A = this chain, B = another copy of it.
Amino acid sequence: MATKLSGFPEFLPRERIVEQQVLDHLRRTFELHGFANIETRAVEPLDVLLRKGEIDKEVYAVKRLAAADTEPAELALHYDLTVPFARYVLENAGKLDFPFRRWQIQKVWRGERPQQGRFREFTQADIDIVARDVLPSHFDVEVARVMAEALAGLPIPTPTFQISNRKILEGFYLGLGVADPTAVMQVVDKLDKVPAEKIRVLLVEQGLEERQADSVLALAEIVTTDTSFVQRVEALGVEHEMLTEGLAELAQVIEGASGVDGVVVTADLRIARGLDYYTGTVFETRLAGWEHLGSICSGGRYDELAQDRKGTYPGVGISLGVSRLLVPLELSASRSVPSVVLVAVGDEESRADSDAVARRLRARGIATEVAPKAAKFGRQIQFAEKRGIPYVWFPPSSVKDIRSGDQVDADPDVWTPPTIDLTPNILTKTESLKETNS
């Protein structure tokens, strides 16, 4: 990977093929579920980004070079796809049909210090459902399910969805008699970095009684792969209307999102999401063996995604960090070009004959290129080999599988390669080792 500008990765063709296939799969899944696509401009007014953003998200300001030096920058590159989406919904509210399901895959930019899994330019894939005034909780189930299906089809380490609901935490804390549930949530949110012992001390320092602190930690320990978390919470003996509501919502999400092959779904009551705009369901996702990358896919329910004079627009969504998701992959494909066939050229005078064969193959959807030079056939086969092109066609009517050496007579209007050869294949680590050794 060429990374001459730190934090701005660029892929070689074989790497890009893997990324393309991942993006194609995501799009296919989102569209199968009826999500419409939009793109928003790369820039937003600077004040919009600063108003909504957290302080630690470093923004890139954008200014016409021709503008005067003293003129302050008014635009900046977006650092996520949620803020632009909220602005888009408000601007187009009169023309959109609600509930509005959208998927959006675009680059975003953050001036953070680059490290593994953290880039300055990276690709996000977001799905959100937004409604006017009311958004029933079955939409929380839907976004979780769609993202689980999207991840299930990818050649990545097993993803574990960690799902919680802020109503459970807040309701539980209120039921316990805690005065400031938000402050407690922010302390509990540090549980993956700070040991439970320390968290307990911090909670007591915040004015919690010992037994309250113990209950808070007991709640945070609950992780189940089914709806049994409900009984475990109830066993803690705390009661509050908001808690009951949160438990019912989370149970619905866990039930609805489970059962997708290759994806683990957990109710994990440690998850709180530090961001303050979530109001119910919250999601995080980690990859087995790659937990140090952090969550690759996060989101939740925000009851006030946007607001105008006509009312509020509640939403629920998940954002997948595609660039981070690619880190554990081998990022190699069986070939560096889309071509299934290289048509050989006997001599430059007969190049038109080779072009004609290529045209007939393409007419049937078979990606084909013609040799750049009428070199010796051995050289032309090497040319194909280097790129991983599986077949070489010798005009008029002979085609060779250069992996096996099998050569057969064939008609360019009829011959079809096996489906597996039609597009480049993603290599997994073992397969690519095999290729190197053979």
Which residues on A are within 8 Å of B, measured CB to CB?
2, 4-5, 8-13, 16-17, 20, 31-43, 45-46, 58-66, 73, 76-77, 88, 91-92, 95-97, 99, 101-102, 107, 109, 111, 121, 131, 136, 138-139, 256, 336-339, 351, 355, 362, 365-369, 372-373, 386-387
Contacts and interface: CB of A to CB of B under 8 A. Distances in A.
B64 A365 contact: no
17 contacts: A8-B43, A12-B38, A12-B92, A13-B36, A13-B38, A16-B39, A17-B36, A33-B367, A34-B367, A42-B107, A58-B64, A60-B62, A60-B63, A60-B64, A61-B62, A61-B65, A63-B73
Given A62-B62, A66-B111, A33 B369 contact: yes
Contact of A336 (B36, B362, B373): B36
A5 B43 contact: yes
A131 B383 CA distance: 14
Contacts of A131: 372
Of the listed residues A40, A59, A109, A337, the one surrounded by the most CB atoms of chain B closer than 10 A to its CB is A337
Contacts of A367: 31-34
Given A36-B16, A97-B387, A41 B368 contact: no
B32 A365 contact: yes
Nearest to A383: B97
Contact of A32 (B63, B121, B362): B362
A136 to B, nearest CB: 7
A96 B15 CA distance: 12
Nearest to A76: B65
A64 B40 CA distance: 21
A92 B111 CA distance: 25
A338 B36 contact: yes
A179 B31 CA distance: 62
A33 B256 CA distance: 44
A66 B13 CA distance: 34
Contacts of A88: 2, 10
B20 A37 contact: yes
A438 B255 CA distance: 45
A77 B92 contact: no
Nearest to A36: B13
Contacts of A11: 38-39
